[in-house]
Structure 1
């Protein structure tokens, strides 16, 4: 379990550092597509490096979905959650240490949000709907390609592409969370409005994860034998 803990911690840190780092340090140059690909490529890289150790959840919503689908114990889920949240803070801290140009001034760490002043200024309902639906889609993709009839070497690519497409669609809406840990790390260090809006990026991905996982738990997406 220690190996799984370390794998999830490192993997989540890398996801935050690469994905949010692309937005913060290179966003003006790579644009929305580049940021989306950074998140997707980070997942692909981690899937093939730490996947054999922990399954590369790097996302509390994914671990929750695995638990609801009957593929993970509550104890293991708790360990994964702890590792993921710590990893997200580590990744955000490394990014902050690079991006903080003027000590004491607020720094953009790619934190999630919604409403006036945030990217496309979408309202709360749009943000909540996007996060619930896209987390459910992401979970369906993950549980589908890693299930009993898994796609083996191609699973990591499929999951990474799914995450990239979700970002292409939704960066202007919420910055895209579908991952409470990814939201927590940057918000904790950025503070202010990011922390006041953090609740949505815990609740909506959790609801989406449960909905997606129930499709497998109830065998509604069970593959034919």
Structure 2
């Protein structure tokens, strides 16, 4: 605290900083969900699944999720750390990168940003051609799923393994790319590209979650089946985040950067 700063002023400044971090997480999660899920709903199969002459397909959706993380992290990552994902926040707290007391506020902000995004996507879809919104909802509204609701028909165990493993790998990349020894300025690129890779692997498995906020936001509009299965896409990514956060220092924290000759 500066010498001329009163306790009241310090408290106000701290609260303002906290609100700014929450706003950054709302914004970043909104961009992530609106961009990624919006691409899946409007552009993956265009003009329709039977005549997908202009659709972007799996590759386009994977790139959309990765690009949204890149642009949002560059925009507001310096404010909040650029989590945009409850599993990332949990992993960061477990790794000692942020105080545990900040976790609930981040989670609420992330859920708010994700739900706002899918609500606006639903409003846009309602103005589409006849049946567009109902078809999107009947198709799960880009929700995650297992069994008959998995794009490739993968069972619950396969989905849990994929979500835990891929979320943990995602956290290892994030923690490594944002460490003090990393090259400044390149973290958003590494994180966004890793998320693209994760989607390329797992869209056929379960439509890719690795993010409970994204899964909850889409399940709200994906119908009863999506809501019934969303628990997997809350618990499995959080477990992956916990594992990575708890083991990052043990695996990588004591390594010293290689010396250049």
TM-score, L = length of structure 2:
0.82
Contact 2:110 2:213 in 1 (8 A): yes
Kindly indicate whether the alpha-carbon contact (under 8 Å) linking 2:168 and 2:244 is maintained by their aligned counterparts in 1.
yes
Q: Indicate how the Cα distance of structure 1 residues 104 and 40 shifts in structure 2: closer, same or farther if over 3 A, else same.
A: closer
- The corresponding residue for 1:125 is 157
In structure 2, do the counterparts of structure 1 residues 122 and 103 end up closer, same or farther at CA, with 3 Å as the change threshold? closer
Distance 2:149 2:85 in 1: 27
Pairwise CA distance, 1:191: 2.8
Match of 2:75 among 23, 40, 49: 49
Given the alignment of the two structures, is residue 19 of structure 1 paired with residue 36 of structure 2, yes or no? yes
RMSD over aligned Cα atoms: 1.5
Partners of 2:201 and 2:69 lie apart in 1 by 17
Give yes or no for the alignment of 1:58 onto 2:90: no
Q: Contact 1:32–1:168 at 8 Å: present in 2 too?
A: yes
- Does the 8 Å CA contact 2:30/2:117 hold for their aligned counterparts? yes
Does structure 1 retain, via aligned residues, the 8 Å contact 2:146–2:206? yes
Mapped contact 1:21–1:109 kept (Cα < 8 A): no
Note the C-alpha offset of 1:109: 2.3
Does the 8 Å CA contact 1:39/1:164 hold for their aligned counterparts? yes
Tell me how far apart the structure 1 counterparts of residues 41 and 183 of structure 2 sit (CA, whole Å).
34
In the TM superposition, what whole-angstrom CA distance separates every residue of 1:94-139 from its partner, at most 9, and x where no partner exists? Answer: 1111123449846242111111143111000110000000000000
Contiguous gaps of at least 5 residues in structure 1: none
Larger of the two Rg values belongs to structure: 2
Q: Equivalent residue of 1:189, what SS? A: coil
User: Normalised by the size of structure 1, how large is the TM-score?
Assistant: 0.95
2: CA distance between counterparts of 1:136 and 1:42? 20
Residue in 1 that maps onto 2:235: 203
- Whole-angstrom CA distance in 1 between matches of 2:132 and 2:179: 48
Residue 220 of structure 1: aligned partner: 251
Bigger RCO of structures 1 and 2 (CA < 8 A, at least 6 apart): 1
What count of residue pairs does the alignment treat as equivalent?
Answer: 224
Unpaired segments ≥5 residues, structure 2: 1-17, 46-54
- 1:143 corresponding residue in structure 2: 175
TM superposition shift of 1:151:
2.1
Structure 1 stretches of 4+ with a deviation exceeding 4 A read 101-104
Matched, 1:155 2:162: no
Pair 1:104–1:94, CA change in 2 (3 A): closer
